[in-house]
Structure 1
């Protein structure tokens, strides 16, 4: 079974889909791995590093797409390349399917089986394949580094002959994978850290990292018969906003992490909240690529609003491309190994498996994902 590893063509993308260590792992499984020439150069992996572990180099991109059984990338493919792939080829990468309807349609028409790595279910067995978590973890780290770089203060407390320097305060909104790493990184750098999340159950995690959990008394929130939190009333949402505004006003750095898969990011910080913040403070909007959490943030720009720097730089994991490629490659390798039949030396596309059910978007010339069908048909 021939596996092709494609060079990334997205402008500014320095991450690579597979590093030599993972290629070696796939070769040992019995796969024929062909990497496009120059695939690893952005992370200083020469072609020879891949051939040394058993891969071959493909110099003709179109021929590589036409002849391969499995095609691996990091970013979603250009639509015009879908038709080059052979029928029933398996394409694995980020796909952003809910925002890329023409891409999904092209895969259906070409009979290409498309796996969207973002949609791998977050189960215990799938943790080792979870690209969203591994990249968000690095994004949270970089967000703090960017915030510290833009702030004209130091983060830690220092006692000096000239007096004591107070620590900076970092406020993190959203305590998922990115938020937790941001908390840990800011604490390591010596900042005083506060965090907020709409889920009170994460308070223990926040405290375990040495940060303060910002509580906003929303009154009775209740839950449904299935145990889910009921939707907040407009009054409760306003109370939540006011609570966050107070924390933002005290902070030197605010980091927003809230993203909704397949939908625009929620607006969390508006201009009125920014105007209450101290001049010289910094906001890092980690959701800028999907619409932004912060009013006025701009993709790949640092703008100043009412004396506050708003950092809207995209692809934060790409700023530590070597490490990001290492973990993405491991996730991808684990995904392939999990479904690899060692006897036949073939990838077993088991459509009854929960991981495949969650992540396979197109199969045999049809839309396969029930989630995709239900959301797109609304």
Structure 2
């Protein structure tokens, strides 16, 4: 019996990505015997892939019901309530599931008997790098943030020497040196800006400087009356608490601030207070990539672009969807890698003892398997009891 993979059309507002693109589907069909890929009509339009492209790749273009009637369903955005109801016992769902932000969806999927593999839970180990959708999307987000900042800033990014005089380069400060932050640094640098990077983790200095940016170090003065371990912990604690004030002079000097400090499932740390915004030059730009979790800036409004103290503050929630062609291509490759990792003699039968599937598995056999997500649900269940 053929293994079937369903690719529904994404219905979230602003979501233009698709979980599988024709080229990647073509390669999958060529390597897996007895496989059928069902793509919902119009699923790829947002990423500029037509239904004819999918048919040419060997996929079946179907209606919404048939796309969800598959052994394995692949999505980008977490499923809506309606989509959860379309899934049932024995089916597998692969996609971004926002388990820490939407634990109730995990519970609903478990109750439906769906086995779910959350792409954001893929472990950060070397053999799982090809499945790392989160890093791929973060890289796109960092790139797009720098481009948006350059578009909004009423100044040039690069140094320019003209007959009318010399224009100094823009000063860009990137807060957070994770995947998104490093890509924002690299992109701003390519655009000719003078770039500075900050991260509370001192070891990131080397990565920031390797991209040609200057590392911002915050000095914290505390009493050195502890042993080495206690002193280090106290420095870390005080630095975290005083970050907004310590960053203020660096923020005031910046034309553009791109903030990326985000911990999944927790409110974003406050790095930019209102006084710091007021100290920036009029026309300056803040792109807050932590907006989905409240933002690193005190004035950020999730999903909105506002002006505060004559500073433009952007709170985007899904920048990868603004680059749907490459975002879909990279995402499709990571999803396909997940599928191929779990294939066994033509069927999708992942080994849940394997670290990749053990950690990526969100629900299975009617239960929420991720311990942290279960912890978020238990207080609610106790209240009901």
Give the TM-score, by structure 2 length.
0.91
1:36 pairs with 2:40? yes
Aligned twin of 2:382? none
1:53 pairs with 2:57? yes
Contact 2:19 2:331 in 1 (8 A): yes
Secondary structure of residue in 1 paired with 2:86: coil
Aligned twin of 1:251? 254
1:361 Cα deviation from its structure 2 partner: 0.8
C-alpha change, 1:45 and 1:102, in structure 2 (3 Å) is same
Contact 1:26 1:33 in 2 (8 A): no
Contact 1:222 1:230 in 2 (8 A): no
How many residue pairs align between the two structures? 371
Aligned twin of 2:104? 102
Instruction: Output the CA distance in 2 between the equivalents of 1:93 and 1:231.
Output: 40
Q: How does 1:194-273 map to 2 (within 5 A)?
A: 194-218=196-220, 230=233, 235-273=238-276
Deviation by residue 1:336-358 (Cα, 9 ceiling, x = unmatched): 112222xx201122110111111
Question: Of 318, 322, 335, which residue of structure 1 is paired with 2:321?
Answer: 318
Contact 1:259 1:287 in 2 (8 A): yes
Instruction: Output the CA distance in 2 between the equivalents of 1:269 and 1:345.
Output: 52
Question: Of 178, 181, 185, which residue of structure 2 is paired with 1:179?
Answer: 181
Contact 1:218 1:240 in 2 (8 A): no
Give the TM-score, by structure 1 length.
0.93
Instruction: Output the CA distance in 2 between the equivalents of 1:7 and 1:155.
Output: 38
50-59 vs 196-205, which moves further = 50-59
Instruction: Output the CA distance in 1 between the equivalents of 2:105 and 2:166.
Output: 57
Instruction: Output the CA distance in 1 between the equivalents of 2:82 and 2:205.
Output: 47
Contact 1:98 1:376 in 2 (8 A): no
Aligned twin of 2:73? 71
Instruction: Output the CA distance in 2 between the equivalents of 1:140 and 1:107.
Output: 32
Q: How does 1:116-127 map to 2 (within 5 A)?
A: 116-127=118-129
C-alpha change, 1:144 and 1:130, in structure 2 (3 Å) is same
Structure 1 residues not aligned, in runs of 5+: none
Instruction: Output the CA distance in 2 between the equivalents of 1:207 and 1:280.
Output: 28
Question: Of 283, 290, 294, which residue of structure 2 is paired with 1:291?
Answer: 294
Deviation by residue 1:37-92 (Cα, 9 ceiling, x = unmatched): 11111122111111112111112x22432x31100010011122223223110011
1:232 Cα deviation from its structure 2 partner: 5.4
Contact 1:94 1:118 in 2 (8 A): yes
Instruction: Output the CA distance in 1 between the equivalents of 2:28 and 2:234.
Output: 46
Contact 1:216 1:239 in 2 (8 A): no
Q: How does 1:324-335 map to 2 (within 5 A)?
A: 324-335=327-338
1:335 Cα deviation from its structure 2 partner: 1.1
Aligned twin of 2:351? 350
C-alpha change, 1:45 and 1:222, in structure 2 (3 Å) is farther
- Root-mean-square deviation (Å): 2.0
Structure 2 residues not aligned, in runs of 5+: 380-385
Secondary structure of residue in 2 paired with 1:57: strand
Aligned twin of 2:12? 10
C-alpha change, 1:201 and 1:71, in structure 2 (3 Å) is same
1:270 Cα deviation from its structure 2 partner: 1.1
1:370 Cα deviation from its structure 2 partner: 2.7
Secondary structure of residue in 2 paired with 1:83: helix
Contact 1:79 1:102 in 2 (8 A): no
C-alpha change, 1:112 and 1:224, in structure 2 (3 Å) is farther
1:21 pairs with 2:44? no
1:106 Cα deviation from its structure 2 partner: 1.4
